[in-house]
């Protein structure tokens, strides 16, 4: 098992313009912007409760995301922020390595059901370095959390079908990956079907995202359309 005291959580957050385009059939641009910001707030809130993490690193150029990150005590960096998810995480890994940090836990900003307990599970199950732990998306296509010790132990490439390629890359580097399936971390919201699944999940968690979807009337529209 790993010593989590020198592991940093890394959360890339895109600029608000054009957020969550795949939901444009259901949500207006303003609603998509609000959804992305609210999900990121849920993610940062959960991470901020994990006392065994060394810190939180948010990769962004978005002013609102910067203010949000600072409110949760996160460190904000801009290198790689416009290079896509993979570029942002890779830049963060390089930074952590330059600083001599022990490990990197990457999580996206669109998994609002993440809990501190699930993050603690990822940290507890992680093996001694060199090591790679991955928590899959609900459809076993995406890589919704990856923990690497050291931060550059293997290259990462995110996308719609990154889960199995990441397993193969780890094994090619002589590392047997630790694979986890955690319902909160696994529930990313990219497509309308994801949003409907999120709204129907039990038990119901008191997330900011769920509250906003219901208060704004979005939940009713999504469920009626599905």
Q: For residues 214-219, give the mean pLDDT.
A: 92
CA–CA separation, 33 and 29 (whole Å): 6
Backbone angles phi, psi at 72, to 5 degrees: -95, 10
Residue count of the chain, please give it.
226
DSSP string, 85-114: HHHHHHHHHHHHHHTT-SEEEE--S--TT-
Q: Residue 189: its pLDDT value, please? A: 95
Which pTM was predicted? 0.95
Check if the beta carbon of residue 1 is closer than 8 Å to that of residue 127.
Answer: yes
User: In which residue are the tokens 């790679």 written?
Assistant: 132
pLDDT at 224: 82
| Nearest residue to 69 (alpha-carbon basis) of 84, 54, 57 | 57
How far apart are alpha carbons 148 and 133 in whole angstroms?
A: 7
* Bridge partners of residue 7, in order along the sequence: 103
Alpha carbons 153 and 12: distance in angstroms, whole number? 19
pLDDT confidence bin for 4, thresholds 50/70/90:
very low
| 20 neighbors 36 (Cβ within 8 angstroms) | yes
Please give the CATH architecture assigned to the domain spanning 4-188: Alpha-Beta Complex (3.90)
Task: Give the pLDDT score at 5.
Answer: 64
The pLDDT mean for the chain works out to: 94
CA torsion sign for 89, 44, 26, 199 is: positive
Q: What tokens does 136 get?
A: 């899959």
Number of Cβ within 10 Å of residue 202's Cβ equals 6
Largest CA distance in the chain: 51
HSE at residue 187, side-chain half, CA atoms within 13 A, is: 24
Please answer whether residues 40 and 212 qualify as being in contact, where contact means their C-beta atoms are separated by less than 8 angstroms.
no
pLDDT single digits (tens) 111-151? 999 999 999 999 999 999 999 999 999 999 999 999 999 99
Q: Tens digits of per-residue pLDDT, 5-43?
A: 699 999 999 998 878 999 998 899 999 999 999 999 999
Q: Could you give the 3-state DSSP secondary structure of residue 214?
A: helix
Task: Provide the residue ranges of all domains of the chain, joining segments of one domain with +.
Answer: 4-188
Task: Write a three-state SS string for 37-104.
Answer: HHHHHHHHHHHHCCCCCCEEEEECCCHHHHHHHHHCCCEEECCCCCCHHHHHHHHHHHHHHHCCCCEE
* Phi–psi pair at 199, nearest 5 degrees: -70, -25
């Amino acid at each position: 098992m790993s010593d989590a005291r020198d592991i940093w959580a890394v959360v890339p957050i895109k600029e608000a313009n054009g957020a969550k385009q795949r939901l444009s059939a259901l949500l207006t641009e303003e609603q998509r912007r609000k959804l992305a910001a609210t999900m990121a707030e849920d993610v940062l809130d959960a991470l901020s409760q994990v006392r065994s993490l060394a810190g939180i690193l948010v990769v962004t150029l978005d002013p609102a995301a910067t203010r949000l990150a600072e409110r949760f005590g996160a460190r904000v960096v801009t290198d790689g922020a416009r290079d896509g998810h993979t570029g942002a995480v890779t830049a963060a890994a390089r930074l952590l390595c330059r600083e001599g940090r022990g490990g990197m836990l990457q999580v996206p900003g669109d998994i609002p059901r993440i809990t501190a307990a699930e993050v603690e599970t990822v940290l507890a199950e992680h093996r001694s370095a060199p090591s790679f732990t991955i928590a899959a998306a609900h459809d076993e296509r995406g890589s919704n959390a990856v923990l690497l010790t050291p931060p550059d132990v293997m290259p990462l490439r995110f996308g719609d079908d990154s889960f199995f390629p990441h397993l193969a890359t780890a094994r090619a580097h002589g590392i047997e990956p630790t694979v986890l399936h955690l319902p909160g971390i696994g529930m990313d919201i990219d497509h309308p079907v994801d949003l409907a699944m999120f709204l129907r999940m039990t038990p119901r968690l008191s997330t900011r995202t769920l509250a906003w979807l219901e208060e704004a009337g979005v939940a009713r529209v999504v469920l009626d359309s599905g």
